[in-house]
Amino acid sequence: MTDQQGDGRRDLNMSASEKDTPGPTPNAAQIDAIMAVIELGARERLLELIADLHEADIADLLEQIRPSERRRFVQTLGPALDPSILSELNEAARDEVLGYITPDDLGEAITDLETDDVVYIVEDLEPETQAKVLDALDASDRAVVEQSLTYPEYSAGRMMQREMVWAPPFRTVGEMIDWMRASDDLPDRFYDITLVDPTMAPIGLAPLSRVMGTPRHVPLSELMEDDLTIFTALQTQEEVGYAFNQYHLVSAPVVDEAGRLVGVITIDDAMQALDEEAEEDLLRLGGVGDESLGEAAAKIAWRRFPWLAVNLLTAVLASLVIGLFDAAIQQVVALAILMPIVASMGGNAGTQTLTVAVRSLATKDLTRTNAMRIIARETLVGLSNGLAFALIVGVVGYLWFGDVTLGAVLSIAMVINMVVAALAGILIPIGLDKIGADPALASGVFVTTVTDVVGFFAFLGIATALLL
C-alpha cells in the first residue's frame, strides 16, 4: 500500500509520525462530551473532539458504548471515519461497525492501510461485499490481500504484512540507503532489511540501526544477523506471539511452502496476537467466549449458555453423590452445614493450580521435561495447605458442635480434597493438552466437578463410617 493521502476524503488525515504518537486517553468529561455530540449528530464537533485521540483509544470507546450509540457514532462521522480505527477494534465490534459502512466508502478508506490491516478488516465480510471493497485497491495490492486471505485465520499468513524491504547480501550500505530514499512504496514502519539468497529464501536480517551507522562501502552481509527466526505462513499466531516474546524479536520473515519470502511480521502485530491469546485463555477459563462490553445481552447469554448447561450437569452429579448419604445427613444435621466448606475449599485450591497450569502450558513453561516435578510440587502444596486448614476447620467443627469426631471427619476430608484438587488442577489441563484439546476451554468445569464429587464423597463417607 502506498502512503498517499487520497483526495481529501478524510478530515482526520495526519502524517505518519503524528499517527504513531499516542494522543491523550479520553477522560470522563471528554467521553460525556462525545456522547452528547453523538446524540445531536454534530459531525464537525465530533471531529474536533476526537482529533487529538489515538485511534486505539477511539476503538476502545467504540467497544465500550452501547450498539445504538456505536451506530450513531459511525454514521455521524460517515466517510470521515479513520480506517485505522477499524484495525484496532476487536472482532465483534469490527463486524458490527462494518455493517454501518457502505462498501464504496470502506473500499476508498482502506487504500491507505497496510496489507495486514486490510486483511483484518475485510476477512469476515461476505464474499460479494469483500470483492466490491477490494475492487478499490490497485491490481497488485488486491492480489496481495487475496493471497493473504487464502491462509487460515489466526495464522502467520494472515498476520504478516506484504510491504517489506529486502535485498541481496552483496548490496552495499550506500546502495541500500540510496534505494530506500528513492522508493515511494516503503512500509510505514519497518525495523530490519531482510537479506535473501537468489531463490528468495531469507538468510539473515540487517537491522536499520546498524545500516545507518555503517560506512557506505560496507556490504550488508557484514551487518547480517544470521541468528534468524523464520515463520511459515501456516504457523499459528499463538506460536508467533510466543516466539517474539521468548526470543525478543522485533521483526521476522514469513516464508511459503517452498521457503520463499512472502512477508514479514513486526513486533506490534506479534504482541497483539500474544495479548489476544492471553485474553482468550482467561475468558475460556471462565467459560466465556469472545465477547465485548458493547454486545447485546441476548448474544452474550447464548454464548454462555452451553457451559452453564454443562455445569448444571456436573452439579447434578454432585447432588447424586450427596443423595447417597441422605440417611446420614438426616441423622446428623451438622453434616449439611459443614460439607460446603470442604467442597468450596477444594474448588478454590483446584482453580489456583488450574490457572497456573493453563498459563504455563500456553507459555510452554510446562513441558514433558518438568511435568512430573511440577505435579509433585503441586501435590505437596495441596497437602501442606490441606493439613493447615484441616487443623483450622477441625477446631472450628469441635467448637461449633462440641463433637471431637465431627471435627476429625472435617479435617480428614479437607486433606483429601485439597490434595485431589491440586492433582486435578494440574493433571486435567495436561491431559487435555495431550489429546489436542484447549486446556483453557474445559478444564474449569472438570476440576470443579472433581472437587465437588470427591469433597462430598470423602466428607459424607468418612462421617458415615465414624459417626453412625
Per-residue pLDDT of 293-314, as tens digits, reads 656 677 777 777 776 777 778 7
Q: What is the structure's pLDDT at 444?
A: 79
Rounded to an integer, the average pLDDT of 66-88 is: 89
CA 350 to chain centre: 23
Hey, what long-range contacts does 373-377 have (CB within 8 A, 24 or more apart)?
Answer: 374/426, 375/423, 375/426, 375/427, 375/430
Q: 262 in a domain, yes or no?
A: yes
Whether residue 5 lies inside any domain: the answer is no
Inform me whether the pLDDT recorded for 21 exceeds 80. Answer: no
Same-domain check for residues 44 and 142 = yes
Q: Is 254 a member of any domain?
A: yes
Over residues 311-331, the mean pLDDT reads 82
Domains held by the chain: number: 3
Residues 135, 30 share a domain: yes
Domain end marker among 92, 115, 150: 150
Distance CA 121, CA 94 (A): 7
Residue 9 has pLDDT above 60, yes or no: no
The model's pLDDT over 207-219, given as tens digits with 9 standing for 90+, comes to 999 999 999 999 9
C-alpha 48/C-alpha 29 separation (Å) is: 15
For residue 263, give the H/E element and its range: strand 261-266
Q: Is the pLDDT score of 23 beyond 60?
A: no
Query: Do 141 and 230 belong to one domain?
Result: no
> Is pLDDT at 370 greater than 50 in this prediction?
yes
- Final residue of a structural domain among 117, 150, 183: 150
Given a cut of 50, whether residue 407 has pLDDT beyond it is yes
Cα separation, 69 vs 227, in Å, equals: 50
What pLDDT score does 24 carry?
Answer: 64
Most confident of 41-55, 177-191, 200-214: 200-214
How far is 462 from 466, CA to CA, in rounded Å?
Answer: 6
Give the pLDDT mean for 7-16: 37
Task: Check pLDDT > 70 for residue 12.
Answer: no
User: What CATH number is associated with residue 50?
Assistant: 1.25.60.10
pLDDT in tens, 40-49: 888 899 999 8
Do the domain assignments include residue 54? yes
Average pLDDT value over all residues in the chain: 85
In this structure, are 194 and 279 located in the same domain? yes
Instruction: Map residue 358 onto helix, strand or coil.
Output: helix
**What are the cell numbers at 235?**
504457523
How large is the average pLDDT for residues 176-200?
92
pLDDT in tens, 380-392: 999 999 999 999 9
Q: For residue 19, what pLDDT is reported?
A: 44
Q: What does the pLDDT read at residue 253?
A: 96
Helix, strand, coil tally for the chain in percent (to 5): 65, 5, 30
**pLDDT tens sequence across 240-296:** 998 998 899 999 999 999 999 999 999 988 988 888 777 777 766 666 666 666 566
Q: What is the mean pLDDT of residues 70-92?
A: 88
| 285, 305, 330 - which closes a domain | 285
Whether 159 maps to a domain, the answer reads no
CATH number at residue 410: 1.10.357.20
Residue 351 structural domain:
297-467
pLDDT confidence of residue 234: 95
| Overall average pLDDT of the 363-384 stretch | 90
- Name the least confident of 10-19, 26-35, 60-69, 124-133: 10-19
Mark whether 178 and 145 lie in a shared domain: no
Confidence of residue 79 (pLDDT cuts 50, 70, 90): confident
Can you give the pLDDT at residue 296? 67
Helix H segments across 248-296? Answer: 267-285
Q: What is the pLDDT of residue 446?
A: 83
pLDDT above 70 covers a percentage of the chain that reads: 91
What average pLDDT score do residues 411-430 get? 93
Q: According to the model, what pLDDT value does residue 1 have?
A: 43
Q: Tell me if 155 is assigned to some domain.
A: no
Flag whether 157 is in a domain: no
Q: Is residue 97 part of a domain?
A: yes
Asked whether the predicted pLDDT for residue 164 surpasses 60, the reply is yes
| Per-residue pLDDT at 8 | 35
| 308 shares its domain with 381 | yes
Q: Are residues 312 and 443 in the same domain?
A: yes
- Check which CATH number belongs to the domain holding 260 and give it: 3.10.580.10
The verdict on 275 and 301 lying in the same domain is no
pLDDT, mean of residues 235-239: 91
For 96, phi and psi rounded to 5 degrees?
-70, -45
Same-domain pairing of 255 and 379? no
pLDDT at 462: 92
Residues 353 and 442 in one domain: yes
Identify whether residues 258 and 302 lie together within a single domain: no
Residues 258 and 315 in one domain: no
